[in-house]
């Protein structure tokens, strides 16, 4: 046998401390952060199937939201005042309004192009004015904080979804977690 062959050579591996795992360059303590490990492990499987991208943030909340969004779940964080709101209760008017000025068909001949130079003579005049006192950075920080808060509420859910879909003891898994079949990876050869 040829032992100099590169296939038989052992690849150097990094020594990981016991009880810790490395995923996407992050060292995760399995005892302190089992949810984060499960979430990143599932996201790595999704990334291998081109269904998600691995986060570079390092925040457990953002990683949980990333996992849920990659499988098609959206998280809506409602304020407590909207907890009992229902559109069914809000819509009580069954009357249909008919407007004689609106015809059933849209005739392109009737449409007219509006000239904006009458209302806005200056070319540099904006059509809207930006809110004064609110910067983009401030809005981004608020949105990020709301996203992190929503993610902390869903961390356990994302971890449980990761367990069910990555553990082979469960009989069902979502299609995003299934590995592509071997036949789909091979290129098709055509005879000339």
| 139-179 pLDDT, tens digit each | 888 888 888 888 888 899 999 999 998 888 888 788 888 87
Packing angle between helix 136-166 and helix 34-48, nearest 10 degrees? 90
Per the prediction, the chain carries an average pLDDT of: 76
Stretch among 47-56, 58-67, 126-135, 171-180 having the lowest mean pLDDT: 126-135
- Segments in the chain forming alpha helices (H): 34-48, 60-70, 87-90, 136-166, 182-185
Whole-angstrom CA distances from 109 to 99, 101, 106, 112 are 20, 16, 9, 8
- CB-CB contact of 24 with 54 (8 Å): yes
pLDDT score at 160:
92
Q: Is 11 helix (H, G, I), strand (E, B) or coil?
A: coil
- Is there a domain that residue 3 lies in? no
Query: pTM score, two decimals?
Result: 0.57
- Is there a domain that residue 158 lies in? yes
> What is the span of the domain harbouring residue 157?
14-77+138-174
- Is there a domain that residue 102 lies in? no
The pLDDT tens digits for 86-134 are: 777 666 667 666 776 765 555 556 667 777 777 777 767 666 565 555 6
- Is there a domain that residue 165 lies in? yes
189 pLDDT higher than 60: no
- Is there a domain that residue 49 lies in? yes
Count of domains observed in the chain: 1
- Is there a domain that residue 7 lies in? no
- Is there a domain that residue 51 lies in? yes
Query: Which residues, at least 6 apart from 178, have a Cβ–Cβ distance to it below 8 Å?
Result: 49
Residue 28 or residue 9, greater confidence? 28
- Is there a domain that residue 126 lies in? no
- CB-CB contact of 182 with 63 (8 Å): no
């Amino acid at each position: 046998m040829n032992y100099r062959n590169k296939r038989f050579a052992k690849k150097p591996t990094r020594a990981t401390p016991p009880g810790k795992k490395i995923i996407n360059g992050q060292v995760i303590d399995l005892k302190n952060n089992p949810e984060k490990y499960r979430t990143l492990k599932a996201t790595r499987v999704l990334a291998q199937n081109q269904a998600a991208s691995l986060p570079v943030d390092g925040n457990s909340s953002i990683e949980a939201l990333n996992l849920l969004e990659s499988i098609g779940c959206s998280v809506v964080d409602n304020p407590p005042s909207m907890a009992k709101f229902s559109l069914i209760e809000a819509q009580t008017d069954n009357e249909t309004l008919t407007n004689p000025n609106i015809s059933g068909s849209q005739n392109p001949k009737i449409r007219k192009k509006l000239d904006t130079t009458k209302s806005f003579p200056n070319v540099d005049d904006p059509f809207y004015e930006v809110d004064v006192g609110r910067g983009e950075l401030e809005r981004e920080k608020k949105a990020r904080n709301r996203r992190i808060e929503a993610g902390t509420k869903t961390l356990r859910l994302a971890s449980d979804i990761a367990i069910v879909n990555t553990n082979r003891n469960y009989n069902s898994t979502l299609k995003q977690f299934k590995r592509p079949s071997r036949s789909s990876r091979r290129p098709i050869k055509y005879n000339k």
